[in-house]
Amino acid sequence: MSREVLDVVIRFHDVRRIVELDRCIFSIACQSYAPVIAHVVCQRFSNQDLETVSVQLQHFRDLAPELTIKVHNMVDPEPRDARSLLINKGISEAKGRYLAFLDYDDVTYPEGYRTLIGELASTDYAIAFGNIRSAYVSVDGDIFLTLTKKSVFHGNGVVDQLRQNFCPIHSFVLDRKRISAEDLYFEPNLNKHEDYDFLIRICSKYLASFNKRSRFVGEYHKKDDGSNTILVSSSATEESRREWERADEFLEERRRTTLVSPEVQRVIGISQPDPSLTVAALIEKFTGSPSNLS
């Protein structure tokens, strides 16, 4: 197994949710893969809040000697919702060969990174995907009770993924040796579907492995307090609906203008690649219907 460094970028915007961040970091500390550097990127935290984060996470030094935790702070005043800028700052700080993302309120399983990095290390793929369980969680203060877990992310292969997102942000690991640095960014002003926009760009250009989709590598925590990014009745407002609509339009334009590389075309069975083939045209060609956002 490779001993190359894995960088995990974790965006964190509210110090009051430090308990969830602790649980997230614990899941990384329990990984069977090492060495790992966890980059906790905070959104405009005060010096006092940064100190709170550092102190809270200090105990992991003894628990996982091969886990390094680095706390960063994004201080740019705009945009108000800086989730993409947090990711980008984390990417800029990452120097290892492998790169993964994990939101502060989700977790990864102990064999998750080892499984995906094993796939990357033994193949020519630039990105490897596993599967994610959806855990439905009841929240009462600092108490989080998992009510049930389900497999809700269905799909397999690059065409399915370009048509409809079934791969959460912590379901994959990237091999930076096989991806140009200029492609490793999140659209700065996009704060909905920002991870899917990233995957459209990556999966249309580089080879992606879905060979480990039968393996669950982590959990997505869907909480009943409305704190998830997804649009649910408890968090729905007219403004949030408009934001989702704008993000849907942005993605459709991305599909219409993004070309599919010859390498990706060959892998999905196009023996004579078309240099003008867009993601939207590819979806139409293989499914007979337009894309569908999830």
Is 171 contained in some domain? yes
Q: DSSP labels for 142-171?
A: TEEEEEEEE------SHHHHHHS----TTS
C-alpha to C-alpha distance for 188 and 180, rounded to whole angstroms: 18
Check: CB of residue 277 under 8 Å from CB of residue 286.
no
Q: What is the pLDDT of residue 231?
A: 41
Is 163 contained in some domain? yes
Around 119, how many Cα atoms within 13 Å sit in the side-chain half-sphere? 22
Q: What is the pLDDT of residue 166?
A: 95
Predicted TM-score (pTM) of this structure: 0.91
Domain boundaries, position 111: 6-287
Listed in order, strand segments (DSSP E) in the chain are 6-12, 36-43, 67-74, 98-101, 107-108, 127-129, 131-140, 143-150, 172-175, 208-209, 216-223
Is 1 contained in some domain? no
Number of compact structural domains in the chain: 1
Parts of the chain with a pLDDT under 70: 1-2, 140, 142-143, 145, 225-236, 289-294
Q: How many angstroms from the chain centroid is the CA of residue 290?
A: 24
Is 55 contained in some domain? yes
Q: What is the pLDDT of residue 239?
A: 81
Residue 128 belongs to domain with CATH number: 3.90.550.10
Is 95 contained in some domain? yes
Is 292 contained in some domain? no
Q: Would you call 4 helix, strand, or coil by DSSP?
A: coil
Is 119 contained in some domain? yes
C-alpha to C-alpha distance for 282 and 286, rounded to whole angstroms: 6
Is 294 contained in some domain? no
Q: What is the pLDDT of residue 87?
A: 97
